[in-house]
Amino acid sequence: MFISYLRIAWRNLWKQKVFAAVNMTGMSIAICAALLLSLTAYHEWSYDNFQENKEHVYQLYRKDNTSKGVRINKSFSEPLAGVLQKEVPGVKRVSRMGGGDMPVRYKDKNIYLDVEMVDADFLRMFSFPLQQGNKQTALGSLDQLVLTQNSAKALFNEENPVGKALEVKIGDNWKPFVVSAVADNIPDNSSITFEALTRFENVEDYSTIRDNWNVSSYPLMVEVAANVNAAAFDKSLIAIAHKYMADPITSLKTMGGIPDKDGELLRINTITLNDFHLSPYSTFGSGLRPFYPWMMVMLACLIIGIACINFINLSIARSFTRGGEIGLRKALGAMDRQLMMQFWSEAFLLCLVSLIVSLLLAAVLLPYYNATFRHQLSFHLFRNGWIVLGTAVGFFLVTLLAGGYPAWKIARVNLVQVLKGKLRLNRGSSVRNGLIVFQFMVAAMLISCTAVIWQQMNFIRATPLGYNTTQVISIPADNAPPQARAAFRNKLASEPSVQSITGSILNLGIGKDGSSGNWNRGFDYKGSHISTQCIVVDYDYAKTLDLKMVAGRDFSRQYGTDSSGVVINEQMARQLNEKDPLGAILNPSGQPYHVIGVVKDYHFESLHKKIEPLMIMMDAQSRMNYLFVKVNTSHPAAAMEHITAVWKEVNPLAKNDPGFLDENTDRLYRQEARFSKIFMSGAVLAIIISCMGLFAIAVLVMAQRRKEIGIRKVLGASVGSIVVLLSRDFLKLVLIAVLVAIPISWYLMQRWLNGFAFHVEIHWWLFAGVSLLAVVIALATTGLQTVRAALSNPANSLKID
């Protein structure tokens, strides 16, 4: 029976090619867009799903409740790892993690690899399968090195790497290692990535931090037993904090810290491995918030919903031409359920064709989608049975939504009317009006959200950061030897386009090496606990970055005591609470530093965060991981090319290219920019589809009011008055839709903006403009049909059918 319905449906659709083409085009585009958006959201949610222990592995972070709000620290002192294993019940394994790009050489081959230094339990905590070697012994000794498949091939080609000796340059020294295992390549949906692993004890400063509770440098991860839940583990960490972090707790209390609901000033909290990717508190987070994937899903649902409404409207409008067919079927004894099945089978067939077309369209567009939005999506995700089942269920629901209501509505029309070949569907239908309101509400909401997102992204790019981003080039030093850095400075000293050169242990923004970071320190000052960020820099740091000195001076080679001097920012000066902070003696690490200058606050972190206290120091023993070159030229691209060539000449192994600081700062918001771009593209598509739906509704309404318009014209109504009359009903519905959309848009965008410490304000005039634009869109969409109806010949409208 169902096959018979499909055959009849195919014949009917073939006869109505225009109707079928319009419906299929809208539905195909909508399904394709929704599919790509849903895959994007699923990919973000799929991170670390391959990890077998994902429910029982946590990253720790520290939450301090200060008098000015909550302060988060993602790093811990090194002795805490041993304490957790010994004193907290249920802790199975612990691992710290640190490292980065390092030169690795084997015979005459010398390349950079991301060498991460971890504890011996790392490979047993995480599900990174080994192709060769044994997880129990792969990191058993300090001279063992685990490579991934790709890094092993890059170093050894077709040789068996296990047992081979090679060297890794850690700091300024080459250390010998033996390859103990080869791991599979890291999945692209892994929060934790590496190209090589060795023991944590190999970090350069291990001897100074191993027993130091005052320095927090590296993230800490813990695996607990299966019978230990997160709440119980978090509770056990309270006692550890009280025992080993009594000094910071006392300082928080002295500084007027505000306890949380449980009375705690300092807590050690946990993030499950499931949440690493989307957590703002995880060292391994992507920078996205959990809101973004849900935003993609909501947009996909809106696009599909709009397409279904278009389908419904066009189906009902088309039913006016099928009155004779429906009347004949009813007269011959067709029951309502049979008519419903017939019309639903047409919707099913059209949706099935649309699904096939959308899959083909998605396959064609996927490479462009990935390139445009920097994704790594693939249809391999459909190997997951849940995705296939979800797609099938979603398709079935779409056919019910798109075809069910029209089929039910048409099947229940009055028999006398259908025998005359007429269908009189109530023009005051609450369902139809509801569809109009929904269409306009979606359009107004998407326009509002798009406008706010566009404003905020422009605000981010235009906000002065307090330092020079357009003339300063950032160069990752890539563990270059001191002689290479010295040669680089010497070669650029005579360049007329180079104004100054400096260095720092930390970059500004995110460089081309993908790194960013901060360094927090806490110490007591005159009975108060001071918490600040620190950076170690070279001479001419303020000069190169165009930082503004508000008091005192910058570091100078003319003063031999500047190695014990420190420059602070205005926030730090306020925290010291001194009338004149110059000359204040600070003791952040057992060595006294005197304040020689105060620099104007600048955004050394992203605009997501408020400007924190900062201490700028000099240390001859610290390696400058980044070099900054200020150029003064009208041809920055040429200057960049030349400086890059000079850098690679003195450091042939350089892995990462230099980049201007404005590029670095843009990378801080690349995730927001990427998802905002996707959202705005989807919003434009949804608005276009909404306009198609409004046009269909206009066709339906004008067809229903044809005789009314004819009578009014015969009685002397002008074209203008008829246009106003026909448009008035639409405008009422537009106002209702806008009134519903505005608070929803405001709430969603306010939540999004709250993720930025610095953001635009949502003004009333924005929503006034959106309301006006929604009215213009509605009138432009329905205006043609309204004018055509008003200009139509009343004789044609009033003649008896």
Structure tokens at 271: 């993030």
State the total domains in the chain: 4
Domain contains 488? yes
Pair 532, 575: CB distance under 8 Å: yes
Nearest of 321, 411, 301 to residue 682 by alpha carbon? 301
The reported pTM is 0.76
Query: What pLDDT score was predicted for residue 319?
Result: 59
Whether residues 134 and 29 share a domain: the answer is no
Whether residues 312 and 444 share a domain: the answer is no
Whether residues 660 and 775 share a domain: the answer is no
Question: Strand 585-586 vs strand 144-148: parallel, antiparallel, or unpaired?
Answer: unpaired
Of the residues 630, 649, 667, the one at which a domain ends: 667
Domain contains 288? no
Query: What pLDDT score was predicted for residue 721?
Result: 73
Phi, psi for 229 (deg, rounded to 5): -90, 165
Query: What pLDDT score was predicted for residue 428?
Result: 43
Residue-number span of the structural domain to which 701 is assigned: 428-464+668-801
Domain contains 292? no
Domain contains 377? yes
Whether residues 516 and 390 share a domain: the answer is no
Displacement of CA 317 from its chain's centroid (Å): 42
Distances (CA, A) of 474 to 370, 465, 663: 28, 16, 10
Query: What pLDDT score was predicted for residue 279?
Result: 87
The terminus-to-terminus CA distance of the chain in angstroms comes to 35
Domain contains 26? yes
Of the residues 236, 256, 275, the one at which a domain ends: 275
Query: What pLDDT score was predicted for residue 427?
Result: 45
Structural element, H or E, at residue 99: strand 91-106
Q: Residues with Cβ < 8 Å from 569, sequence gap 6 or more?
A: 598, 599, 600, 601, 602, 611, 613, 614, 616
Domain contains 289? no
Displacement of CA 61 from its chain's centroid (Å): 21
Which residues is 115 bridged to in the sheet?
A: 100, 196
Which residues is 399 bridged to in the sheet?
A: none
Pair 20, 315: CB distance under 8 Å: no
Question: What ranges in 553-660 are assigned the alpha helix state H?
Answer: 570-576, 636-650
For the stretch 678-703, pLDDT in tens is: 778 878 887 787 777 677 667 666 76
CB neighbours (10 Å) of residue 632?
Answer: 12
Whether residues 107 and 248 share a domain: the answer is yes
Question: Strand 173-183 vs strand 165-170: parallel, antiparallel, or unpaired?
Answer: antiparallel
Structure tokens at 577: 């609470």
Whether residues 673 and 658 share a domain: the answer is no
Of the residues 651, 667, 683, the one at which a domain ends: 667
Nearest of 396, 447, 526, 455 to residue 738 by alpha carbon? 447
Query: What pLDDT score was predicted for residue 128?
Result: 93
Whether residues 102 and 248 share a domain: the answer is yes
Q: Residues with Cβ < 8 Å from 12, sequence gap 6 or more?
A: 346
Which residues is 552 bridged to in the sheet?
A: 597
Query: What pLDDT score was predicted for residue 470?
Result: 87
Domain contains 287? no
Whether residues 111 and 256 share a domain: the answer is yes
Distances (CA, A) of 202 to 173, 477, 519: 11, 20, 20
Whether residues 663 and 679 share a domain: the answer is no
Whether residues 389 and 526 share a domain: the answer is no
Question: Strand 614-617 vs strand 528-536: parallel, antiparallel, or unpaired?
Answer: parallel
Query: What pLDDT score was predicted for residue 333?
Result: 61
Whether residues 618 and 707 share a domain: the answer is no
Whether residues 580 and 682 share a domain: the answer is no
Question: In the chain, which stretches have pLDDT less than 70?
Answer: 1-22, 314-343, 373, 379-385, 387, 401-432, 479, 512-518, 522, 529, 561, 589-590, 620, 693, 696-697, 699-701, 703-706, 713, 715, 719-720, 783-785, 788-801
Integer Cα distance of 757 and 765 in angstroms? 23
Structure tokens at 789: 């109806």
Pair 760, 697: CB distance under 8 Å: no
Distances (CA, A) of 637 to 188, 626, 633, 640, 667: 33, 20, 9, 5, 19
For the stretch 253-308, pLDDT in tens is: 877 788 888 888 889 999 999 898 888 888 887 777 788 888 888 888 888 888 88
Domain contains 598? yes
